[in-house]
Amino acid sequence: MPHLVILYTPNLEAQTNMTALCRALADTMLALKDESEKPVFPTGGVRVLAYPAAHFAVADDGTAGKAAGGDGDYAFVYLNLRMARGRSAATQQSAGEALIASARSHFAALFEKRHLGLTLQIDEGPEVFDARQSNLHPIFQKG
């Protein structure tokens, strides 16, 4: 049900392990509990997909970054989680806080080294139609 899509500038591709970030965020989602200590997301429904852009432009042309001692090459990571309707505001907040903490931790070293922006937004899906098919969910209900 939840989809976390990561869009990022390709200048990060060689500087960080995005597969590791995907796994860390998925694990964060899997560990989330709601007010009644139930998992917020079903295991089989957790999906994180990351996409480097082919082309991009961030902020100015690099002038300010160079003036600030950087190389003028800005990076950006956008994390967008879409979850189904009906979860409490408290659950949405705690999910967001856990995910941004996980992302900040992943990028902590890189923030020391380069110009980088990180944004996480959570949307409640506004879908007017929803259908699915999966042979994933059953394997997490066994045993």
Cα of 47 vs its chain's centroid, Å:
10
Paired strand residues for 78: 7, 119
Pairing of strands 3-8, 75-83: antiparallel
Q: Considering the complex, what minimum distance in angstroms separates the CB of residue 88 from a copy of itself?
A: 10
Does 92 contact a copy of itself by CB under 8 A?
yes
Q: Which of 9, 11, 40, 102 binds a copy of itself (CB under 8 A)?
A: 9
**Footprint (CB under 8 A) of a copy of itself, residues 25-64:** 25-26, 30, 43-61, 64
Q: Which contiguous run of DSSP H or E holds residue 118?
A: strand 116-124
Does 98 contact a copy of itself by CB under 8 A?
no
Residue with smaller CB distance to a copy of itself, 38 or 113: 113
Residue with smaller CB distance to a copy of itself, 34 or 56: 56
Q: Considering the complex, what minimum distance in angstroms separates the CB of residue 35 from a copy of itself?
A: 16
Please tell me the number of Cα atoms within 13 Å of 9 on its side-chain side: 18
Q: Considering the complex, what minimum distance in angstroms separates the CB of residue 56 from a copy of itself?
A: 5
- Write out the DSSP string of 1-54: --EEEEEE-GGGTTTS-HHHHHHHHHHHHHH-B-TTS-BSS-GGG-EEEEEE-S
Residue with smaller CB distance to a copy of itself, 38 or 138: 138
Does 105 contact a copy of itself by CB under 8 A?
no
Q: Considering the complex, what minimum distance in angstroms separates the CB of residue 2 from a copy of itself?
A: 10
